[in-house]
């Protein structure tokens, strides 16, 4: 993507499994073996059984769109161009958890609840890879092959 607007993303000591997966274009989320229930990557325990021992597991990467928003940078005092708008989203993974995410390669006019999406990763020159979601139907951008 041409616009990043991203800062540099770093590990914090509790996120190695997630970012190791991201580096290999794999979406890692949490799973409760006792309940066979999936959770977002930042879940700290199972809300069903109370078990703290969630394990990392690879998600399929398929998702659907729940909601979306376009973040516009504040106009700059000196009149220089502001960063391009960022397409933000809530997505529902096929496994059930929702993620706050960024959309890439989408036409804002075609967004709708339930739009099929697939996870992909951006690999910046510095720092960890970023998770983005791209539509799996319609006109995909030329660089969509970089996905999972």
Partner 1 sequence: MRTDRFGQAAIAGLGMTELGKVYGPSPRRLAAQAVRAAVADAGLTLDDVDGLLVSHGMSGSPGIELAETLGLRDLRLLTHMNAFGATAGAMVSYAAMSVISGAADTVACVFADAPLKPRQPAGSAYDSAAREYYGFTGMTAALGFRSVNAFYALAAQRHMARYGTTGEQLGAIAVATRRWAGMNPLAQMREPITVDDHQNSRWVVEPLRLLDCCLVSNGAVAVVVTSADRARDLARPPVHIWGWGQGHPGHRLERGSEFGLVTGAATSGPVAMKMAGVTADDIDVCELYDCYTYTVLVSLEDYGFCAKGEGGPFAASGALAPGGSLPTNTGGGQLSAYYMWGMTPLSEAVVQARGHAAERQVTKNDVILVSGNGGILDHHSTLILSPQPRGHRP
Residues that bind partner 1 (CB under 8 A): 5-15, 18, 39-42, 47, 66-72, 74-75, 85-86, 88-90, 92, 96-102, 112-113, 127-128, 130-132
Instruction: Tell me whether residue 13 or residue 125 sits nearer to partner 1 (CB atom).
Output: 13
Q: How far is the CB of 47 from partner 1 (least distance, A)?
A: 7
Instruction: Tell me whether residue 14 or residue 145 sits nearer to partner 1 (CB atom).
Output: 14
Instruction: Tell me whether residue 88 or residue 144 sits nearer to partner 1 (CB atom).
Output: 88
Q: How far is the CB of 78 from partner 1 (least distance, A)?
A: 14
Q: How far is the CB of 142 from partner 1 (least distance, A)?
A: 23
Give one word for 102, left, alpha or beta, with left for phi > 0 and alpha for psi -120 to 50: beta
H or E stretch covering 76: none
Instruction: Tell me whether residue 59 or residue 99 sits nearer to partner 1 (CB atom).
Output: 99
Do the beta carbons of residue 84 and residue 5 sit within 8 Å?
yes
Burial 81-110 (b: 16+ CB within 10 A, else e): eeeeebbebebbbebebebebbbbbbeeee
Q: What are phi and psi of 27, to 5 degrees?
A: -90, 115
Q: Residue 128 and residue 23: Cα distance in Å, rounded? A: 7
Q: How far is the CB of 44 from partner 1 (least distance, A)?
A: 11
């Amino acid at each position: 993507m041409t616009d990043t607007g991203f800062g540099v993303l770093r590990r914090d000591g509790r996120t190695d499994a997630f970012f190791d997966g991201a580096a290999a274009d794999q979406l890692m989320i949490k799973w409760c073996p006792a309940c066979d229930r999936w959770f977002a990557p930042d879940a700290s325990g199972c809300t069903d059984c109370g078990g703290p021992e969630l394990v990392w597991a690879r998600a399929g990467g398929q998702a659907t769109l729940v909601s979306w928003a376009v973040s516009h940078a504040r106009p700059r005092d000196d009149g220089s161009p502001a960063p391009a708008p960022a397409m933000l989203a809530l997505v529902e993974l096929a496994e059930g958890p929702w993620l706050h995410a960024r959309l890439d390669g989408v036409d804002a006019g075609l967004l709708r609840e339930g739009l099929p999406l697939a996870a992909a990763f951006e690999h910046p020159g510095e720092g960890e890879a970023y998770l983005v979601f791209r539509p799996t139907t319609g006109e995909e951008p030329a660089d969509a092959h970089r996905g999972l």
